[in-house]
Chain A
Amino acid sequence: MDSVYCHANWAQSLGGISFPLLSDFNPKGAVAASYGLYLEQAGITDRATVIIDADGYVRHISSVTPSGERDLAELAGLCEEVAEGYRGDLPPVETPPGLEGKLELYVKSGCGFSKAVLLARDNLHLEDRIETHNVSEDAAALSVLRDLTGKEQAPCLVVDGRPMLESQDIIRHLVTRVTGWWTPEK
C-alpha cells in the first residue's frame, strides 16, 4: 500500500494525523470506475487524485499513471486553493480530545486482531506514546496480562492500569481521541 501524507490543514480536519484507507473492492474498482479511473485492460486503478469541494463537485482531477509518483506539496497547495476559493461556511473543525494516561499495549504473535491494533498504532504515530509488549515473546508481560485480566487474551490496551480488550474497542479508543474521526453520528 502507498503511505501517502497530505499536510494540508483541511485534509487533516478529515482525520487528524491519519486518514482512512477505503477498500474499493466489492465489486472490484467500482468506485474508481465511476470516476473514470479504472484501467480495465490492466485490471487496476490509476494512481490518481481527486479533490472534491464541500458541495460535492470535482475541483481537481489528475493522474500520475500507476507507476508515477504524486507531488504531495503541489496537491496540498491545490487543496488550499479549493478551500480558499470556496464560497460558503463550513462547520468549525473540532479539536480531537487527545490521549490521556499511561498506555500499555499487550499483543501476541500470529494474531490478526493484534496486527490490526498495531496498524492503527503506527498509522496514528503512537509508537512512542504507547508501551507495547508482545506476550508471545515476553513471559513477564504475559504474567502481567494474566494478573490484570485473569486471562491471556490479546490484544489488550491498558489505560492507567485499566484493561480494555477487543481490538475494535481499542482501535476506536485510539482513533477517536487522536483524530476525532470515529465519532458518534450527530
Chain B
Amino acid sequence: MLAVGSKAPDFKLQDHFGREVTLSQFQGKRHVMLLFYPLDFTPT
C-alpha cells in the first residue's frame, strides 16, 4: 500500500447517483476518506 505522506493518486469514477467524482475536485476544499472493499458481485 502507499506510504503515508505520499501524494494520493487522482481518479475519475462515477458514483451511484450517476455523478462523476474525482479526488482532485476536493483539493483545497475537503479532506477525503476512501473506503475500499472487495466486490461481492459482478455488475451487469
Chain A residues with CB under 8 Å of chain B are 1-2, 4, 6, 8, 10-11, 13-14, 20-25, 28-29, 31-32, 34-37, 42, 44-61, 63, 66, 70, 75, 79, 82-83, 86, 90-91, 119-120, 168, 171-172, 175, 181-182
Tell me the chain B residues, 4-33 only, with Cβ under 8 Å from chain A: 4-11, 13-19, 21, 23-24, 26-33
Do residues A57 and B38 form an inter-chain contact, with CB atoms below 8 A?
no
9 pairs of residues in contact across A and B, judged by CB atoms under 8 Å: A24-B11, A31-B9, A44-B39, A52-B23, A57-B8, A61-B4, A70-B35, A75-B33, A172-B17
- Of A22, A42, A61, A79, the residue contacting B13 (CB under 8 A) is A22
Q: In the bound complex, do residue A23 and residue B14 qualify as a contact, i.e. CB atoms below 8 Å apart?
A: yes
Residues of A within 8 Å of B16, CB to CB, are 20-21, 23, 119
- Contact status A47-B38, CB under 8 Å: yes
Residues in chain A near residue B21, CB distance under 8 A: 20, 22
